[in-house]
Chain A
Amino acid sequence: EDQVTQSPEALRLQEGESSSLNCSYTVSGLRGLFWYRQDPGKGPEFLFTLYSAGEEKEKERLKATLTKKESFLHITAPKPEDSATYLCAVAGTGGSYIPTFGRGTSLIVHP
């Protein structure tokens, strides 16, 4: 059974204070690891897909990296508008392309 654990559960940063969110996963063969952003009361918004260890993807102040056991979402010089819950999900090679989600990290960036 695929498993995803995200840490920390909550993170408070000052504007400009860089940090990283962690996603540890267990999967029998990785089809893809996905990062999403979710604002309160809204559906998750797709950010990145990573397929293999060593891969990196960037979008504005966000950079996602992948190893064989975990992924990091690095946030460089965050702004208050980066405040959201960040979700990680994995899809394994067993059967359908059905992702397993973690519980998310709630990020608050103070001005």
Chain B
Amino acid sequence: ETGVTQSPTHLIKTRGQQVTLRCSSQSGHNTVSWYQQALGQGPQFIFQYYREEENGRGNFPPRFSGLQFPNYSSELNVNALELDDSALYLCASMGSSYEQYFGPGTRLTVT
């Protein structure tokens, strides 16, 4: 069984630029969530997708958007990057008992 994978591992962007992060869900999981984790904080929920439809959204502005594809892989897009967007971005697929299986994360640095 393949686990959750994310790409890229690290990314450096300039303020105002746009970024796309990618995630492949664990095999058989049709629900994926994205989280932002700042240093020393717990993961903050961005949004969740279930069978290609947005299923819930946290307190993040519209410049954070996402997609889920028919194979249940997913993208997180962030427009007009700000310095505070620097964080570890985590993708998680949901198991049958609502537990989350996380990928290794993408470390985004905005300069």
Q: Interface residues, chain A, CB within 8 Å of chain B?
A: 4, 31-32, 34, 36, 41-46, 49, 87, 89, 91, 95-104
Contact = CB atoms under 8 A, between A and B. Distances in A.
Contacts of B97: 32, 49
Given A41-B88, A42-B104, A104-B42, A98 B99 contact: no
Given A41-B107, A43-B103, A96-B48, A102 B42 contact: yes
Of B31, B42, B98, most A-chain CB atoms within 10 Å: B42
B102 A87 contact: no
B41 A91 contact: no
14 contacts: A34-B99, A43-B90, A43-B92, A43-B104, A44-B100, A46-B100, A89-B100, A91-B98, A96-B56, A97-B98, A98-B56, A101-B42, A101-B45, A102-B42
A46 B99 contact: yes
B101 to A, nearest CB: 6
Contacts, number: 68
Interface of B: 4, 6, 31, 33, 35, 40-45, 48, 50, 55-56, 58, 88, 90, 92, 94-95, 97-105, 107
Nearest to A88: B42
Of A32, A42, A44, most B-chain CB atoms within 10 Å: A44
A101 B101 CA distance: 14
Contacts of B88: 41
Given A49-B99, A102-B42, A97 B105 contact: no
Contact of B98 (A32, A42, A101, A102): A32
B43 A44 contact: yes
